[in-house]
Structure formats: C-alpha cells, structure tokens
Copies of this chain bind each other. A is one copy, B any other.
Amino acid sequence: MKEQFLLTPGPSPVPEDVRLVLGKSMIHHRTDEFQAVLKDVHQGLKYVYKTENPVLVFASSGTGAMEAGIANFFSPQDTVIVIEAGKFGERWVEIAQAYQLKVVTIKVEWGQPFNKEALKKALKENPAAKGVFATLCETSTATVYNIEEIAGVVKENADCILVVDAISGLGQDILKTDAWGVDVVISGSQKGLMLPPGLSFISVSPKAMLLLSTAKLPRYYFDIKKAHAAYAKDDTPYTPAVSLVRGLQVSLEMIKQQTIEKRWELYGKMAQALREAFKAIGLESFSKSPSRSVTALQCNFDSGLLLKKLRKEKSLSIAEGQGHLKGKIFRVAHMGCISEQDIVKGLSLIEAGLREVGYKDFKVGESLKRFQEVFHG
C-alpha cells in the first residue's frame, strides 16, 4: 500500500526523527527524566510563541484548549466579541454559547481581510465586553488576520482580554505574542509543530491570569490555575500524553535550530510561489489576505471530485472547502516540515488530477516551473 502524502492543514507529516521517539519504550511521567523533557518543551513553546508567559500543555486536540480559553476567564452572561471569518471563528461562537456567554459576533466575509474599525465600533457599543476572540490563520479559508492590529485595539480596554486561535498558523504565520500584547494564544500539535494530533497549548498573560480567581464558569480538566501550578514545577496536573510530549521535545528543537524567523520567511516565500504557480495554470487564490500555512484555490469544477481522485489514485491528501465553500475551493497546506520539493511533488500530482477531472487548459509542468521561478526568484 502506498504511503499517504499529506498536504492537509492538519494533520501534517511527522518527521522521521519525531516518529522514532513516538515508538520508544514508555517512561513514567513522575520522574526526573520526564520532568527534563517537559522543561525543554515549556521553553521551546515559549520560543515558538515569542512569549515569556507560561505556555501550558494539555492532552487534547486544539478544541480542548479553545474551551480552556473560555471556561477559565469568564462568568455566565459575560459579554464577549467574536471576529467570525470562517469555520473556526464559528467554533469560538459555539463554545462561548455552550458556556452561556453573551456573544457579539462580527461577521467577516470569508476570505476577506478584517477592518479593525469594526472591532473599535463593537467595543464602543459593548463597553462591558470582557473578551475578544480572533483567529490567526482561519484554516477554512486559508486567510491570515492582522492580530497585531486587533491586539492594539483590545489593549486600550483595561478589562478586556484578547484570545487568539493560532492552531494552524503557529510556526508559519508571524505571531509575536508578547510584542503584540496577545493575552491568550491557543495551538495544537498536528500542524506547524510536526506531531500527531493529541496535544494542545495555551499561553496566558498576567492580565488573563488575574481573571482565574473571579471567573465562575465551571472547569476541571482544563483548569488553568491547576495547570499553571504544575507548570511551575515542570509537571502536569493529570497524566500527560507522554509519547507525544517526548516527540514535541524533538520537533521544538528542530524549529529552534532552524529559527522561527527563518520559518516565517520560508513559508511566506513558499505560499507566495504556490499562489503564483496556481495562477500560471489559471487558478486564483480564494483569500484576499492569504496565510503562510495553507493556500485555498477557487475552482469552476467540483473540488470534491479532485480530492477523491488524488486521495484514492495518487495517495495525496489535500483539503476540501468547508461550509458553503464545499466543492468550490480546494486547499493545499504548507506547514510543519513541508519542503520546497514536497510542494513540487504535490503540484505534479495535482496537475495530473486536474486533467482527470476535466480541467485541462494549461501546459504540463507549468505550475511546477512557475513555483520554482518564484521560489528562487
């Protein structure tokens, strides 16, 4: 059976050096050996997050840490503002509603950039708002949002925190947690951090920490006060996902060696070259503010059919459109350990798939050539 080749926005491929660690014999988590691993992981996460705030590790997928980002800081009937620009913005709304918060939603047209004036207006109209929720890279539309600008607006409100979902963006899209003043940043293991799914992360600023003792929403497994007390001793309140944490030690070290700045640059260049490559064969980017982590292409054929062909016949996984974009876009991810040559391989398979679904009006190899030109230009 052919190995699956993943250009999906999570899970992303896991490098061999990480996979070898995942299969090692089990160690106990209450030992000096594991404490040293967790210490490295805590330092490494702070490095990737660009923060001096604690970054806590949960055994859960990213959605679990999103829930932590709500349950720990608010009380029932608190007002929060959600910038909703896609499927993952919708998730913020759903979680906040599940926790009986009053949700003010700023709807942004999918794929369009966000105008900070809308946030200023919403904060003016809702002076009691206790939190603003945003997304770094909205995976469903492959759009990056200007978190620096959003943070600048939120910062002017002493009693309001900014919570950002950076699950798919972290590692490729630029994120400067402390320099921008982002209070809470959520992420997960299976995207830029090059691990299987199963770990989630949350950074907490001093301003957000102050809310832990007044917030009345119930929480236990995702309790940040308890997780933070354990963090201070490089420990966790409940049994950690030992094998994944050991893998994370390795992948964080890889990122450190490469440096996060070089990664931002590399994936920025890769994303731009990929957009130009698709343009050369007549496919336009869906997003007007495209991410460095994933690229969405508009198409006039059924993207679902393309995906199925690529997956079944060529062992390549890319992603469908979600919600009302189902069938209308397809998405190609470039995160984690995806290299220039992985994209070349992907384009070769995608060109073949396009022909098979009847999209034929382009010269063979044109997208690969253009990708190389722009990438090395």
Residue ranges of A at the interface with B (Cβ–Cβ < 8 Å): 3-4, 6, 8, 10-14, 19-29, 31, 33, 58-64, 66-67, 71, 94-95, 98-100, 188, 190, 196-198, 217-223, 238-244, 311, 317
Contact = CB atoms under 8 A, between A and B. Distances in A.
- In terms of DSSP, what is the predominant structure of the interface of chain A? loop
A241 B198 contact: yes
23 contacts: A4-B25, A6-B27, A12-B26, A19-B24, A21-B23, A26-B190, A28-B317, A31-B311, A59-B197, A60-B221, A61-B221, A61-B240, A62-B238, A63-B220, A63-B221, A94-B220, A98-B218, A188-B239, A196-B242, A197-B239, A197-B240, A198-B243, A241-B241
Given A61-B59, A238-B63, A27 B10 contact: no
Identical copies in the complex? 2
A95 B219 CA distance: 8
A331 to B, nearest CB: 13
B100 A67 contact: no
A63 B63 CA distance: 17
A94 B12 CA distance: 37
A33 B4 contact: yes
B26 A4 contact: yes
A26 B242 contact: no
A241 B71 CA distance: 23
Return the 6 tightest CB-CB contacts between A and B, nearest first. A23-B23, A198-B241, A196-B243, A19-B23, A63-B238, A61-B239
Contact of A28 (B11, B23, B29, B58): B11
A32 B99 CA distance: 34
